[in-house]
Homo-oligomer: A and B are copies of this chain.
């Protein structure tokens, strides 16, 4: 191990140990504060101008065999970033990575984990700046871009490092195997065990969470010895490129080839993902995005282990509530946050057609739907707050989808566009809420990405559960919310959650939201339904990223 990698490991050892403790206890823990006030005021203040200083020029990275530049990001807040990036030659890059992999492998788990922890620490310090890049590619509002793009993404990266460390630490470097032979001398074998990476790891990033959804795969692969190709979404390159730069700097300082983590940007017109994914040297693929492409990867890139987070039909079932106002306020936040562009945003809200019981008496189905609409309206009544919470629509397709969906049911709350005080061309739209009948499964049982949700009239809660089961089994889901004051129904929700392998949030009516998951405690997606074949993070997310190669020879008893 190089001296500096060892120093990095020693420096961050406490954090690592605490992270390993946290993934076992699942208690609250994080080393990366989510409050901007915990970061140096200067860094926070300077972030916008630092971001602006990156615009309209090349962003340079270590790029093997780079032949031309690509770019073309447009902020959902209404301006072109004008940044170009080197596009390495994939063939040359893969050869260079395979050469570099050997030193990275031989450096051992401590060195690799040390580098990863140092990278995360530096990324944390850069959170204000990364937030700007996340905001102006994903369209997230500034606070969310800071939290989800900065500390929360770093949490997920650290979580992956902790799982990787735990898995690798279980393999002893050496062992002496002594087999008794009765009266004769025992047979003694001296053994060595090596952690050997799978090969090239391809991490395909998405446009909505370019860091949060990328860091787990990046750090899980890197810590276990695999070189990583970062293939950003053409619309959200900058946050990934900034990350790659930090990794390359730390790799170089620690004495490793910076090409071990390389950005391979592409364009919508000349996509590279399929070519990269089918390369025989690519053995690991992390992907966040559409079901179509995720399924294509699973079906076609069979030379690789594919970890895919796709889409599903996130579900809320309302059986009964104490305080409908608190419940609808909670749901209003979830439906509004980042204009429903989270992979965790609820879409299908099942409510009995005869209404529900509350602490204030019976309320009709229409009362519930109207209360939800009212809560969203109230929550978004202040335009500044609305713009901050909603953020901007990342894609024009999502904007078009709102229009296309208006006719799918009876409008409970129409989507309206909003004007941002600073960015007049920002694509800002409030949620569209539709009322539909349980029979319209083709309508609400298909993912409608964006601020589009359905309140579905069912026969009763048993029917709601049955419909949710059918839809999630077929289409998947990443989140499931349940509301009931009846513990027996709560157990039915718990059973449903297990049947469809979807995490359950029960009776959320305060400061915790169904679309948010906490690193080190909540498993994001389970990997057990069509929405995702992997969970962020668990043992399975890291265990197959390396193999153990051993040697043995005759030895003498110690």
Contacts and interface: CB of A to CB of B under 8 A. Distances in A.
A539 B547 CA distance: 10
A192 B539 CA distance: 18
Nearest to A306: B302
Interface in A197-247: 198
Interface in A499-558: 501-512, 518, 521-523, 526-528, 535, 538-540, 543-544, 547-554
A309 to B, nearest CB: 14
A39 interface: no
A55 B492 CA distance: 50
Copies of chain A in the complex: 2
Nearest to A180: B28
Interface stretch (A146-154, A171-179, A334-342, A394-402): A171-179
Nearest to A532: B547
B27 A510 contact: no
A115 to B, nearest CB: 20
Contacts of A528: 196, 198, 547, 549
A43 interface: no
B498 A549 contact: yes
Contacts of A276: none
A323 interface: no
Most chain B beta-carbon contacts within 10 A, residue among A194, A505, A509, A549: A549
A299 interface: yes
A546 to B, nearest CB: 8
A187 to B, nearest CB: 6
A26 B172 contact: yes
Contacts of A53: none
Given A493-B551, A522-B550, 10 more contacts: A105-B498, A193-B523, A494-B551, A498-B549, A501-B549, A502-B549, A504-B552, A538-B543, A539-B543, A544-B544
Interface of A: 24-28, 105, 167, 170, 172, 175-181, 187, 189, 191-194, 196, 198, 298-299, 302, 493-494, 497-498, 501-512, 518, 521-523, 526-528, 535, 538-540, 543-544, 547-554
